[in-house]
Amino acid sequence: MAQTRVKPKPGEVPVLGGIAEMASRFDVILCDVWGVLHDGERAHAAAGDALTRFRALPGERPRRVVLVSNAPRPGASVQVQLDGFGLPRSAYDAIVTSGDLTRALIAAKADAPLYHLGPERDLPIFEGLPARRVPPEEAAQIVCTGLFDDEVETAEDYRSRLAPLRERGLPMICANPDLVVERGARLIPCAGAIASLYEAMGGTVIYAGKPHRPVYEAAVEAAAALDGLSPAAPDRVLAIGDAIRTDVAGAHGFGVASVLVARGIHAEELGCHAGEPLGEIAHWLEAQPVHPDAVVEVLRW
């Protein structure tokens, strides 16, 4: 059973040169994908090297890396994308996505016709499922995977579209709880932004991914299943990510340690977005609801 971790004080959170300084304390790494392993255009070579090195460490049980992504697509689809970005498969053992959990939620209510709110690129989330996609006026539930055009739209553009759905009391499954992700040097809105708006309007939202507990349970179980072992103890699990709201808060809620990658979605807030070195972060951390156990500029060994 997960333990509740005591939040470290902002001034006591160490800034590490890389994860080698703490890696031997853990058997499993649950690693975020977008913003940590790639920027939406290409893989970060140092990150792939760091995870590969972790997997090679000796120990009482095999060291495992499970990629935990809020991507609204199945893990197999994410793997194809990672191959295209150049992330070596030696960097990880398995992938668990919010898309995988969304598929399970859809399958559990296969008799409820759904309205897919999101771009066509996310359609793989429905492949092989008995789900019936219908126009919004015929739906009994909403599956939100993102904005139709995240290059130009914002969540606020969807208010009028959401209003009649809220009036009918349709529940929404949010297949990507992230508010934003990096795409190159820009921040792009995600399904989580629409879901937050729907909640603010009084709608009911079921979140499939981080920071919610089910995705962490699935990831730890996936790591254990690789070797036929029981799940690793919470104090032997490390979560790595670039978002306070999802990665660090999710790890804290699940009772495991976390490392925040500074040069991710918080880079501009931390003053290191344009190649500037990471400076004093205690003041910024003081304003956050939860704190990581350590910070690294980028994921490296």
User: Is there a domain that residue 5 lies in?
Assistant: no
Instruction: Note whether 265 and 284 are same-domain residues.
Output: yes
- Please count the structural domains in the chain: 2
pLDDT of residue 218: 95
Q: Are residues 70 and 215 in the same domain?
A: yes
pLDDT of residue 10: 64
Query: Is 236 part of any domain?
Result: yes
pLDDT for the residue numbered 282: 87
Question: 91 pLDDT exceeds 70?
Answer: yes
pLDDT tier at 233, thresholds 50, 70, 90 = very high
Considering 207, 224, 244, which residue would you say is the last residue of a domain?
207
215 with 87, same domain? yes
The pLDDT tens digits for 126-144 are: 999 988 999 999 999 999 9
Domain that holds residue 192: 109-207
Indicate if 199 and 215 belong to the same structural domain.
no
Does one domain contain both 145 and 272? no
Do 187 and 268 fall within a single domain? no
Say whether both 217 and 200 belong to one domain. Answer: no
**Is residue 218 within 8 Å of residue 210, measured between CB atoms?**
no
| pLDDT at position 80 over 70 | yes
Mean pLDDT, the chain, integer: 92
Q: What is the per-residue pLDDT across 166-188, written as a single tens digit (0 to 9) for each?
A: 999 999 999 999 888 777 778 88
My answer on whether 119 and 203 are in the same domain is: yes
What's the rounded mean pLDDT across residues 79-97? Answer: 97
Report residue 273's pLDDT band, with 50, 70 and 90 as the boundaries.
low
Q: C-alpha dihedral over 204, 152, 102, 48, to 10 degrees?
A: -130
Q: Is 2's pLDDT higher than 60?
A: no
DSSP conformation letters of 135-165: -GGG-SEEEE---TTTTT--GGGGHHHHHHH
pTM for the whole structure: 0.85
Split at pLDDT 50, 70, 90, the class of 228 is very high
* Residue 161 sits in the same domain as residue 28: no
Domain stops at, among 160, 186, 207: 207
Bridge partner residues of 89 (DSSP): none
CATH number at residue 270: 3.40.50.1000
34-43, 57-66, 275-284: the lowest-pLDDT one? 275-284
**Residue that finishes a domain, picked among 207, 236, 260:** 207
